[in-house]
Amino acid sequence: MTESKKMRGADIVVASLEREGVDIIFAYPGGASMELHQALTRSKKIRTILPRHEQGGVFEAEGYARASGKVGVCMATSGPGATNLVTGIADAYMDSTPLVAITGQVAQQFIGKSAFQETDIVGITRPIVKHNYLVQSIEEIPRIIKEAFYIASTGRPGPVLVDIPKNIQMSYCVPEFPEKIELIGYKPEEFASDQQIEQILRAIEECEKPVLYAGGGIISSEASEELAEFVEKSNIPIVTTLMGIGAFPETHPLSMRWFGMHGTVTGNYAVDEADLLLAFGVRFDDRVTGKIEEFAKHGIIVHVDVDAAELNKNKVVHIPVVSDIKYVLKKLCKHIKRREYKDWHHKIEGWKKEYPFKYKDQKDKILPQYVLEQIYELTQGDAIITTGVGQHQMWAGQFIKYTHPRTFITSAGLGAMGFGLPAAIGAKLACPKKTVIDIDGDGSFVMNVQELATAYIDKVDVKIIVLNNQHLGMVVQWEDRFYQSNRGHTFIGDPSLADPTDPEHSYPDFVKMAESFKIPAQKVIHKRDLRTALEKMLAHDGPYLLDILVPYQEHVLPMIPGGKTVKDIIIE
């Protein structure tokens, strides 16, 4: 479709975004992107959210995408603005999050000449994107933007970067907006053959101890309903990855919740003993498998994934299938025959009773696990939880039960600290009627603390809980387990205090920090005050921060040490 009048390049970009249904962009301006920001001020359809750091913006776009299922969009200027997006782009790549990142670039005549704020962001991001573009002419903007959204959102979702030189943003042309896209060699839709479906069904018929291992691919392909139907019809117990949390209700009797390094003993034991492992929408990540040659070695493995590159990459399997998982589940549901697996279910129930997620409660101290139990009670699982990265992330997965997809949003593959607060802001903007809570650690939270300003200025009603132990807790746990508790710069409090671990004098003062951003906050030291503080936070209309002081000696258990097997699991 051709517009009848000439348009400026920057306005063509914005018009192209509007045509893709973009309603929110997370964008920080600079010299090479000013023209794009000027064009955004003229848009009646797109709300521009100003993050306070480009990394905050890309994490916000990820939170928006993960909560909504739509493509998240962020924008930055050239040079340092663009490089500040790199961690978030890598995170989106690892966690298969649909993202379009737009960067301003220096004018074409300066490219390759070390101009002010010039970096080769296309070259830098090449290993961590599905695709990227350096726009060479104004005429190709509509096609490139449409392709970017198509690539980001189809097949296995992921990030696409579009780098636009400033002179092209300022040029004029009569744009032609394509109605559809066909990319030679890109086939995002792959479907299993009837023979492959029969092969899977035959494997199910012949097994006695099956396990379904479901990952983030179930959520990406919107296949949770089909998964639930398949589990009900087949009577096969299910375990998920961290990315797959919420794909199947964790309150269901057939759920073994999630497994891997810090997942359920039940899930780990069941996968180890299974004579059939149905791996659906997963990538055999090392945090799940441990020592790969020992992983699930007692049975047949079926691996279904839309990304052919994942098949036999980490784990060689018996039945590899390139396909959209929703299609496979629909086909299986038509033909699956229910079986009882009584002995297998009995064994799994025994493990569930013997090895629940647990901790030793203390009368006088607030333990982080207790905090999460209280949050679960107060929200009844009806909240979107985002996290930073560390012990608090694992506890948020353990002590809250998730029943719906897109309600647990975490940096799983890359493990990027600083993810929690901006992801919560993006998720809340995507789902304004949902309660959104960032569960954070003091180390992770401070990495993007500036996004408190975004929450306040844009009136984003996020709740923030900092489980503050004055340490980099997960690294401390590894120091305790494997380095004779020798502290390698993992204490992040103030060593000049008489007692640096005294909760009365924790450092920094997160309450004063939040209040400096005009966000109400409260420090909680005593267990008796916790419940009231949580209720007050949830009832407050607007962003709110709770700084909860917890002991640093707590470890996340169970734990399978890196590179080890289920036989090495640490339970106590």
Sequence-distant (6+) residues with CB within 8 A of 137 are 168
pLDDT of residue 514: 98
- Span 234-263, mean pLDDT? 98
Over 80: is that where the pLDDT of 266 sits?
Answer: yes
**Residue 428 known to be catalytic:** no
In tens, the pLDDT along 94-145 reads 999 999 999 999 999 999 999 999 999 999 999 999 999 999 999 999 999 9
**Residue 54 known to be catalytic:** yes
pLDDT of residue 2: 67
Distance between CA atoms of residues 86 and 49, nearest Å: 19
Over 80: is that where the pLDDT of 502 sits?
Answer: no
In tens, the pLDDT along 402-423 reads 999 999 999 999 999 999 999 9
pLDDT of residue 242: 97
Which tokens go with 462? 């996020």
Catalytic residue among 6, 45, 109, 116: 116
The residues that bridge with 212 in the sheet, in sequence order, are 238, 278
Residue closest to 425 by CA, chosen among 55, 104, 83: 55
Torsion angle, CA of 136/137/139/140, rounded to 10 degrees?
0
**Residue 117 known to be catalytic:** yes
Catalytic residue among 20, 38, 110, 117: 117
CB count within 10 Å of CB 354 equals 11
In tens, the pLDDT along 311-322 reads 999 999 999 999
Helix (H) or strand (E) holding 131: strand 131-134
Distance between CA atoms of residues 319 and 202, nearest Å: 11
- The pLDDT > 70 percentage for the chain reads 99
pLDDT of residue 47: 98
pLDDT of residue 505: 83
pLDDT of residue 497: 84
In tens, the pLDDT along 372-398 reads 999 999 998 899 999 999 999 999 999
Over 70: is that where the pLDDT of 201 sits?
Answer: yes
Distance between CA atoms of residues 149 and 145, nearest Å: 6
pLDDT of residue 381: 85
pLDDT of residue 360: 94
pLDDT of residue 3: 65
Contact (Cβ atoms closer than 8 angstroms) between residue 511 and residue 521: yes
pLDDT of residue 364: 85
**Residue 559 known to be catalytic:** no
DSSP string, 311-349: TTTSS--SEEEES-HHHHHHHHHHH------HHHHHHHH
Average pLDDT, the chain: 97
**Residue 374 known to be catalytic:** no
Over 80: is that where the pLDDT of 357 sits?
Answer: yes
Confidence tier at 256 by pLDDT (50, 70, 90): very high
pLDDT of residue 160: 98
pLDDT of residue 149: 98
Going by the DSSP 8-state scheme, the letter that residue 107 receives in this structure is -
Question: 235: left (phi > 0), else alpha (psi -120 to 50), else beta?
Answer: left
In tens, the pLDDT along 168-186 reads 999 999 999 999 998 999 9
Distance between CA atoms of residues 274 and 301, nearest Å: 9
Catalytic residue among 70, 166, 315, 352: 166
Catalytic residue among 256, 417, 474, 537: 474
pLDDT of residue 182: 87
Which tokens go with 376? 């679960």
Q: 193-228 burial string, b = 16+ CB within 10 Å, else e?
A: eeebbeebbebbeebebbbbbbbbbbbbbebbebbb
Looking at per-residue confidence, does 252 or 2 come out higher? 252
Catalytic residue among 7, 26, 35, 54: 54
Q: What does pTM read for this prediction?
A: 0.97
Confidence tier at 484 by pLDDT (50, 70, 90): very high
Confidence tier at 498 by pLDDT (50, 70, 90): confident
- The pLDDT > 90 percentage for the chain reads 95
In tens, the pLDDT along 22-81 reads 999 999 999 999 999 999 999 999 999 999 999 999 999 999 999 999 999 999 999 999
